[in-house]
Structure 1
């Protein structure tokens, strides 16, 4: 069986935020595979919409035998287990848990269901800060810059602080 490395960003801005992150990590370890590395937890402002609730975000890398689409299904089920309510619209909203695939190995996937690498990762300081903590030298397979270079180029000024 092939071993894949997937980078996942977990986020929550509805209390109990830390509990949702812990529960998500536990479920991911049980259903997807073991975490290889994990960033610190960061407190961040909402991105793309206005909210009074700050996010807690954490990036983990997981070794898995699942493919990218199986990984996506496990993440959706994990969000549902953590009471995530999807609105069906494209607008951002507060959430108990958001679990996104940032990278899956060095694969490039572009379907209606899944886009990897995450299409907006280079625009988001709340993704890049924790990514640099655990994978500063990982090279974006499309943009051809490593995580640290992407962070240096990022113009996002939202607040991102270790929690």
Structure 2
């Protein structure tokens, strides 16, 4: 079994329902959810949009290889109406990123693990610190807490009570 951290978020549709649905799908298609962060509301990162995002980080146990996991995630996102993107960032009902896969480093055209933007994003680091404060980035060799301390993202991040 492999331990994987996923960053999950969206800013379109019924965000609470979408998160509930995607977590059930993840359990059924990808693997058991071991830990789940609180939900955080954040502004869009890298583009302008009218709606803020709701984000969480989950840790799952999976038997899927990294490439199989990516294909399954793309299928899940497509089920939420996500289309292959031509521009960098857009609003969406559901986005799922592989943040970490064990302590593996993957660098292919289709897949980069660890996710290259982890150190730059509060919407990833705050929920990651909540569930895995001591997890060490396999390339940077810094814990989630240390990455958060060094993050320059000044976005407002608000924990949502559901």
Q: Tell me which residue corresponds to 2:129.
A: 132
Q: Which residue of structure 2 aligns with residue 81 of structure 1?
A: 79
C-alpha distance in 2 between matches for 1:97 and 1:76: 10
- 1:44 touches 1:56 (CA, 8 Å); kept in 2? yes
Which residue is 1:21 aligned to?
19
Q: Structure 1 stretches of 5 or more lacking a match?
A: none
- Equivalent residue number for residue 33 of structure 1: 31
Give the TM-score taking structure 1 as reference length: 0.96
1:101 match: 98
Residue 85 of structure 1 deviates from its aligned partner by 2.7
The gaps in structure 2 that reach 5 residues or longer are none
CA–CA distance in structure 2, aligned partners of residues 24 and 99 of structure 1: 9
CA distance in structure 2 between the partners assigned to 1:86 and 1:93 by the alignment: 11
Q: How does 1:117-128 map to 2 (within 5 A)?
A: 117-128=114-125
How many Å separate the matches in 1 of 2:84 and 2:150? 32
Match of 1:146 in 2: 143
2:65 is aligned with 1:60: no
> Once superposed, what is the RMSD of the aligned Cα atoms?
0.8
Which stretch shows the higher mean deviation, 23-32 or 103-112? Answer: 23-32
The residue aligned with 1:91 is 88
Runs of 4+ deviating beyond 3 Å: none
Is 1:85–1:95's contact at 8 Å kept on the other side of the alignment? no
Q: CA deviation at 1:90?
A: 3.6
